[in-house]
Amino acid sequence: MFSQSGHWPRLRAVRPRAIELRLHWWETAVLSIAYYITHPQVQIDADIPVSEWGLSELGRARANAMLDQPWVGSIRCIVPSGERKAIETAEVLAGRLNLTVEVRERMHENDRSATDFLPPPEFEAVADQFFANPHVSVRGWERAIDARRRIVSEVEAVLGSGETGDIAFVGHGGVGTLLLLHLSGQEISRKADQPAGGGNYFAYDIGARHLIHGWLPIDSPAPRLEFGE
């Protein structure tokens, strides 16, 4: 679920990390994968800006549980937004992989500074309007079409920078959902929103430019995927 705190190609279980696509008996193509990871649960504090919220105890525990995922070891580049909760999530990965994080400020969540914190029922109602009316600034929030354009531009800039290996983008449910919809060729709506609480990820085949799978929890067993029979 977007929070404050399809029919894909034929896929079946086998290999969770760098996926191998069998071309002929003598050759194998190793796919580079982009993972978009949303921060897990946060410590809500109505007295400070939402962008400055950090991970809660549960969120940090889930971020550490993510390290047991078999796909984590193949990550060679970690790119979080500039929000504290995204950076803290990225630093958990970076610590395990001995990598530095490459912050991109414009990967931030949709700009909600006009309202900042809203009580959960009110927030959910406004979020529904955000997705339902993408060309409208609902309650002063950034328009969904503008947030989508921004996150797509940031991700494309990284994918086109010559980075090799798998890439982890660490961000947020709202712009993450807009990115997922864009990558799968769908119109803006809330139907592809992540599950409640955050701490989910989807995977994207960089070379073939298509989704491998949609939202999955960061702390649940990863699927093992193979193309075709």
Each residue of 103-137: pLDDT tens digit? 999 999 999 999 999 999 999 999 999 999 999 99
Cα–Cα distance for residue pair 166/124, rounded to 1 Å: 33
**What is the C-alpha R_g of the chain?**
17
Q: pLDDT digits over 29-43, tens only? A: 568 999 999 999 999
Residue 201's contacts (CB-CB under 8 Å, 6 or more residues apart) are 35, 36, 37, 38, 215, 216, 218
Q: What is the pTM of this model?
A: 0.86
Q: What is the mean pLDDT of the chain?
A: 89
What domains can be seen in the chain, in order of their start residue? Answer: 11-227 (3.40.50.1240)
List the one residue out of 173, 210, 205, 185 whose CA is nearest residue 71: 205
Cα–Cα distance for residue pair 215/37, rounded to 1 Å: 9
Residue by residue, what is the 3-state secondary structure of 56-108? CHHHHHHHHHHHHCCCHHHEEEEEECCCHHHHHHHHHHHHHHCCCECCCHHHC
Contact between 108 and 80 (Cβ < 8 Å): no
* pLDDT score recorded for residue 118: 95
From the CB of residue 98, how many other CB atoms can be counted at a distance below 10 Å? Answer: 6
Is it the case that residue 1 has pLDDT exceeding 50? Answer: yes
Q: Are strands 166-171 and 33-38 parallel, antiparallel or unpaired?
A: parallel
Contact between 213 and 8 (Cβ < 8 Å): yes
Cα–Cα distance for residue pair 192/215, rounded to 1 Å: 8
Residue 163 pLDDT level (bands cut at 50, 70, 90):
confident
CA 182 to chain CA mean position, Å? 13
Which of 7-16, 86-95, 140-149, 155-164 shows the lowest per-residue confidence on average (mean pLDDT)?
A: 7-16
Q: Are strands 20-24 and 27-30 parallel, antiparallel or unpaired?
A: antiparallel
CA terminus-to-terminus distance, the chain: 33
